[in-house]
Each structure stands twice: as structure tokens, then as C-alpha cells.
Structure 1
Amino acid sequence: MQLLMHSPLILDVAGLQLGAADRKRLRNPLVGGVVLFARNWESRGQLSALCAQIKAVRLDLLIAVDHEGGRVQRFRTDGFTALPAMRELGAYWMVDAPGAMRRAAACGFVLASELRACGVDFSFTPVLDLDWGGSSVIGDRAFHADARVVTVLAQSLMLGLARAGMAHCAKHFPGHGYVRADTHLAVAHDARTLGAILSADAAPYQWLAPGLRAVMPAHVIYPEVDALPAGFSPVWLRDVLRERIGFTGAILSDDLGMAAARAEGQSLSQAALQGLQAGCDAMLVCNQSVVHNGRPLDVLLRELDQALERGQWTPDVRSAQRRFDLLPTQPPLQWDELMVSDSYRAALDDVFNLPRPAGEK
């Protein structure tokens, strides 16, 4: 097991600090990262200490969080900036397109700088889904209904993230905004053809592909293309995303704990295997450390190890490299330094003090 480099699981931890069970799981070479939630947050000092504990277990663990702005923002107090929902940036585009690009870049910089100052490596953002108007789970998380606007604003936000030393994860490929069902709770179907999806929802992925660092596929079934949800489909991940679109970064699954991820009654390990065999580089498993003291995670680790021994999946050095590539490569500013830095203060101004549209006096 010491030769295993792939480390394909990103797991959650139970509380405000690591317990003995958390540390044991994070030492397992199958684990490549940690995903944090609001229950892991009390204050900046506590979050920084938790991240330091995680890195003390293994420096290569990727510390990630869902932190987009709007209603999806895990840390909101003790100095963290309450960032606007992405739809607000799209609405501002209709007033001042260049100003919206600047504001999106500023949001990315503020988001990443604050997270990194507390030890968090990575956020699952931006959302590239189109705002078709009917999805409650996507809703105001989407920039706009126009794929061209989504592409430009997402690229601007990613530039802001990159300036603060953070990679990004575009989601939810090939598009979640058209379906009404919430895949956390139910199976979702999108009956459109491949051509219709590629020309609309998946267009931002095609246009941004050379610069994308990571992509998260949707737990949505597109029956005209494949009977499997996109995140478990070799057709979507290998044939479309890798071969047709030309994406070369990391493919990170959505949460295996969601209803749509295991609609056929699969266990966590069966779903993880299905995703890895389909082409995912890492599988995200959320909110399981708080179930029966984390027993589902222990069972998952044991069964995935057994599957490895049986040859049901093979570690991939390319997948390992893709995960390593998501780790920050530059040191962050400490919080107190960040608060007085010119770049951060200017970015805050751009987020909240909207500039006049170009040409307006």
C-alpha cells in the first residue's frame, strides 16, 4: 500500500478539531483530501488550527470546501466577507459588462485570499451551469442564462482565484441548470440530445477547456446520451469531456452521499468504484463522519482496499498528479497581513463599490 499514490478519496471530518478516528482515516493512503463544512467552523483561529492539524497528518492532503458566495458559503462570520451570489454578477453584466468582469475577478481574489489565510487550499467553484430558471438547487448560483456570459464571468472569477494562488473546479458538467430535481434528494433526468447540451450548457467547458484545472460532473442522467449519471459515465467523462472537449485536468466527483449518486442502491464503495472506472480522478464523500461515528467511511476504506487487491481498479499516476496539481504552490498572506494589503482592499472595493459603467459620467 505504500506504493499507492492515487489517493482517490476526499472525505469529511466530524468536528472543530481532528479526533483519533479522523487522523487514522486521513493517514490511509486511499485518502487524498478533506472537505470542510459549516460544522467544522467556529472561528478563524479554530479553522486555522484544524487545517494545521490536517496538514500535520499529511502535507499532500488537499483541504477543500464549497465556498461560492451567495447561499453556498460555509464560513460567514469572524471577518469572512459575505460574497454576492453569482446571479448578481450576471445581472450587473447587463448594466456594465467590463465592470462585471472586474467584479467577478475581485470576488475570486477575496474568496481565495480569505480561505488561504486560514489554511484552506481549494474551493469547489465556479458554477458553469446555465440559469434556465427552473432549478431550485442551482438557481442564483448560476451567473446567467447565456453561455457566453457564464464563460466570461467564470473566467474572470478563476483569474481572481489564481491570483491568490488557488485552483478552481468548474461544475456541474455537462450542465445541471436545465433539470428541476435536486440531485441531493432525487434522481434527475435531462432528456435533451447530446447536440443540444453541447451547444448550450456544455459550451463553457469547451471554450474554457485549455485553462480549466478541475471539473465536477453532475449526478444527472441524460438518457439520450447514456443511461448512467454523468459522474459515473465513461461516455460523458472519457468520450465527451476528455476526448471531444479535450479537458486534461482533474475530474472530481460530486458527493457520493447524494441520492442521485446511489439511486440503484449501491454502497459507497460500489459508487466510488463505478466513478473511478468511468474516469474520475477523485471521489468526494461528504457528511459520513457524523454517521455512526464514521462507520460508513471505515467500511468504504476497507472495501475499496479490497477492490484494489482484487484488481477491480488500478491506481493511476496521472490521477495522482492531477490531484497534486490542485495544491497551492505559493504561500498565502496571513490574515492580519491580508487585511492591510493594497490588493485585498482594492478587491473589496470592486466587490461592493460598483464602478460606474464605462463612458458614464
Structure 2
Amino acid sequence: MAIDPGLRRLALRTLLAAFAGTSPPARALALLTDGLAGHTLFGANVVDRDQVARLTAELRSVRPDALVAIDEEGGDVTRLAHRTGSPYPGNAALGVVDDPDLTRAVYAAIGTDLADAGINLDLAPTVDVNTAEDNPVIGTRSFGADPAQVARHAAAAVRGLQSTGVAACAKHFPGHGATLVDSHLALPTVDVPAEVLRERDLPPFAAVIAAGARSVMTAHIRVPALTGTEPATFAATVLRDLLRGECGFTGAIVTDALEMRGACESAGGIGPAAVRALAAGADLLCLGARIDADLVEHVVAQIVTAVGDGRLDRRRLEDAAIRTGELAAWAARPAPPRAHTDAGLGYAAARRAVRVEGSVAELAHPLVVQLVATHTIAGGRVPWGLSPHLNGTDQLTVVPAETSPERLAGRAGGRPIVVVGRHVHRAAAARALVESLAARHAVAVVEMGWPSAWRPAGVRAFVTTYGASHANGRAAAEVLGLTR
């Protein structure tokens, strides 16, 4: 059955697709010609900034107003610097420094990098209030656990980013910071009264709306008080009534990736998820990374069918296309003058964030032991740690459950040991290893994840970086006197 061309184009105007490779394939370009809103770039699309600039220029050769989106948060979530780690600290580090002018400057620098590469929509900043210490997916992506602190930095980040002509997308509405489940893997539940959300999670969104954020991203989380059994992405009570009505947001509502299990499994597939998100009030649907032209056409067919059978009002689809078009028009404006900041801005910011408990005075010429840690889907396999910055210092990388304190103490000899990890307190084997070493040896810990209250007895120093970016790693190495 042939699809009405006008309706197909409307459906395409609500979609952010993706493609494999470092240059756009013909079908990715053809979809833009047919009306696709744009494409999201991931690490696999990025070699370096010159290559990305060529890629984005090719996309715009067929559609000058195409949206080119990316997850560039700084800190632990980077795509432009996925091969080395970001030269900027992430939100947790900026939050602990608590200088909104610095936050604005860092995000303006990120925006300049993106604009120079031809990217006009940053799926950032993360403005979730991280109230769950062991949150598996937000953590150092958050400015902190205090709503007022997160709000002032969220507003500064949006202003800095958008001052460069790159549209911000504040995420994840109505707040992903209290979850203990990663929505990439399952549907998290935040079972609190609506008033708790208003007091704890919504102030940063109010701040970014007041700051002029061009878009807001939905969360694939279930909030029974507002959404019943379904995720917020599919709930008109959240998107239409709360975000549009109560919060007064008039920009584009963007979904988190619909391929994520928190959305896809709830709806029975990406196509049904797209229909339900549009019906609930979303405007721009981020399909995800594992997307090809065939899947885009499948989603389009599902949307068109839903209009035909009454599950999706055509006027709602038209409204979504209009709002997405307005976002694209804003992002396609001539770029404002951009001041290229000092290349050391991010490194200086990371140094300001480092906190040291105890003394590093007796830690000269140590053995550095990096503990293998898992990565999130949001962050991906980005290099981290101190090794790029060491001045010839001996380093080992170990799996905590597969090594022993005796082995490490023997390797160190009379030298002190610096243990580097992310969320060390979360793994029993890692905690036991550090505690055993500290009982018999001069040990310091460098924590590069979200900090906890855990402090192993006997350690000489506990260094907290509030992130694991390239900048955070250099800052820690400098504090320990280990840099080249």
C-alpha cells in the first residue's frame, strides 16, 4: 500500500535518525531530501573534528536546515573526544566548584567546538538532580544533589551553549536522578508523590526554560503518581500537562532514544513507541544509534498507519513537525561571533574541582593501580584514568576480583600505591582490595566516579575528581605530583 507523500514527509520531519560510518551513505542523504528532521552522530561517526566538519557539510548540502545532533556533555559523556576523553570536566566537577560563570564558559567552549564541526543540536546539558548515590546512569553527569545548585548551573550551561548558536536539549524530564536502574536496560520507577518531583526534580527544568532552552528531552522512567504504568515519554500528563501546561515550555520536546529498553520494550517496538510518544506530546523522536534507512521507513509507516486508524491525530503530528521546524530554523541561523577560549579552560576547571582528604606528601614515586570498571551505554568505552598524564610512573591495570593485595604489595616493594577507580565502593572485591592494602601499605585512592561516604581505614589520602574525563585525569595526576 502506497503511503501518502505529504503524510510521509510530516512523519519524517519528526525523526532524528542515525547511520553507520564516518561519511553519510546515500540513503541517509535521501531521507534528508525527503524531509527527515536530521541525524544524530555517535562515536562511531567521529574520527576527528575536521572529518566531522566534512560529514556535516555533506548533510547540509542536501538540506541546509538539517538538524545534526550529538551527545556532547563534557566529562564522562563525549562523542567528539571519545578516543581520548573530554578536555572538559563534566557537570559534577562544575557543580562542586559552584561557579556558574565557569559553567557558562565551559559550555560556551563546548558549543564552539560543536559549531566549528557543523553540529547544531547538543543533547545536553543533563539537569537531573542526582539524589540516588548509586544511580547507575546519571551520577557525574549531574551538577549535584541539591535542586537549587543544579538549577543555577543548568541555566548557566544552557546560556553558554546557546550563545554559540548551538541549541541545548536539557534532559531528562521530569528527572532521572533518583533512579537505581539504567533506562537503557529496563524501565526505572520513581515512586514518589508529584509534590516531591516538583520540589526536588523540577527546579532545574524551570531554570532552563527561563534561560531559553530550545528543547527538553524526556525520560524513559515510570512515575506512578503521574504516568501510571508507562514511561514519562508516553504520558500526556507529563509532556502536555506538566511540561507544556504547568512549566510553560514552548520549545521542542525531544525523546530519549526510542531503541532504549525503557521505551522500546514498554511499547512493543520502536514503531509503536514513536506513535505513543507523538500522541503524548513529543515533537522530535530520537530513534537511537542502531538505526538504518529501513528502520526509519518502518517507523514512518507506523506513524502513517496510526494517523489513518485514529491512534494519532494528524493535527498533533502537524504540530510536532512545526515545533521541530522551529528548532531547525533557530539552529540554522547565521552563527554568532564565537570567541575561541583558552585551550586550557577545561583543565583549569578540572583542577578547581579536585578535593583531597589526607596528605599526598608521602606518595612520591608510587605504583599506580587502576581498577577495571564497567562503562555505561550513555558514556561508552572512553579512555579514562591517569596513564596519559604520568611522568613514567609504573602503572598496572587490574580486575579487583582477580588480583590480591599481596601481589600488588610485592610489585610495589617499598613504594606507595595509588589506587585509581570509578565507584570503588560499589564493588565488594574492589573495597576489600583497597582496605586490605591500606592496612599494610602506604595507599592513596583516586575516586573518579560519583563520590560516596565510603573511606577505607588507613589510607593516606583520598582524592575525588568528580569525573573521569581526560581533564579530570590530568588534574588528579597533577595533585599527586605525577605529571610529565
CA distance in 2 between counterparts of 1:155 and 1:161 reads 10
Equivalent residue for 1:234? Answer: 236
Residue by residue over 1:67-126, the C-alpha shift from the partner in whole angstroms, topping out at 9 and shown as x without a partner, is 001111101179996211110011112xxxxxx212111111111111111111110111
Matches within 5 A, 1:1-361: 1-2=5-6, 4=9, 7-29=13-35, 31-76=36-81, 82-93=87-98, 100-132=99-131, 133-210=133-210, 211-227=212-228, 228-264=230-266, 266-289=268-291, 294-311=293-310, 312-314=312-314, 316-326=317-327, 327-331=331-335, 343-346=339-342, 348-354=343-349
- One-letter amino acid matched to 1:180: L
CA distance in 2 between counterparts of 1:189 and 1:181 reads 8
TM value normalised by structure 2:
0.65
Cα offset for 1:288?
Answer: 2.7
Contact 1:106–1:351 (CA under 8 A) maintained in structure 2: no
Contact 2:179–2:189 (CA under 8 A) maintained in structure 1: yes
Residue by residue over 1:9-58, the C-alpha shift from the partner in whole angstroms, topping out at 9 and shown as x without a partner, is 111111111212222333333x2111000010112222111111111222
CA distance in 1 between counterparts of 2:125 and 2:162 reads 12
Equivalent residue for 1:96? Answer: none
Equivalent residue for 1:97? Answer: none
- Bigger radius of gyration: 2
- One-letter amino acid matched to 1:130: V
Cα offset for 1:207?
Answer: 3.7
CA distance in 2 between counterparts of 1:246 and 1:299 reads 33
Seq. identity, %: 29
CA distance in 1 between counterparts of 2:79 and 2:336 reads 20
Cα offset for 1:183?
Answer: 0.4
CA distance in 1 between counterparts of 2:51 and 2:85 reads 14
Give SS of 1:110's match. helix
Which of structures 1 and 2 has the larger relative contact order (alpha carbons within 8 angstroms, sep 6+)? 1
CA distance in 2 between counterparts of 1:138 and 1:356 reads 22
Cα distance change on mapping 1:356 and 1:130 into 2, 3 Å: closer
- One-letter amino acid matched to 1:19: P
Residue by residue over 1:170-189, the C-alpha shift from the partner in whole angstroms, topping out at 9 and shown as x without a partner, is 10011101011000001110
Cα offset for 1:325?
Answer: 3.4
Cα offset for 1:332?
Answer: 6.5
Contact 1:288–1:296 (CA under 8 A) maintained in structure 2: no
- One-letter amino acid matched to 1:232: F
- One-letter amino acid matched to 1:121: N
Cα distance change on mapping 1:131 and 1:123 into 2, 3 Å: same
Deviating more after overlay: 82-91 vs 257-266: 257-266
Cα offset for 1:268?
Answer: 1.5
Contact 2:33–2:63 (CA under 8 A) maintained in structure 1: yes
Deviating more after overlay: 218-227 vs 308-317: 308-317
CA distance in 2 between counterparts of 1:77 and 1:198 reads 35
Instruction: Spell out structure 1 runs of 4+ moving beyond 6 A.
Output: 77-80
Cα offset for 1:322?
Answer: 2.7
Contact 2:258–2:287 (CA under 8 A) maintained in structure 1: yes
- One-letter amino acid matched to 1:300: V
Structure 1 unpaired stretches of 5+: 94-99
Residue by residue over 1:293-333, the C-alpha shift from the partner in whole angstroms, topping out at 9 and shown as x without a partner, is 65323322333233345453415554334323331422367
Give SS of 1:188's match. coil
TM value normalised by structure 1:
0.86
Cα distance change on mapping 1:78 and 1:204 into 2, 3 Å: closer
What's the C-alpha RMSD, in Å, of the aligned pairs? Answer: 2.5
Contact 2:56–2:68 (CA under 8 A) maintained in structure 1: yes
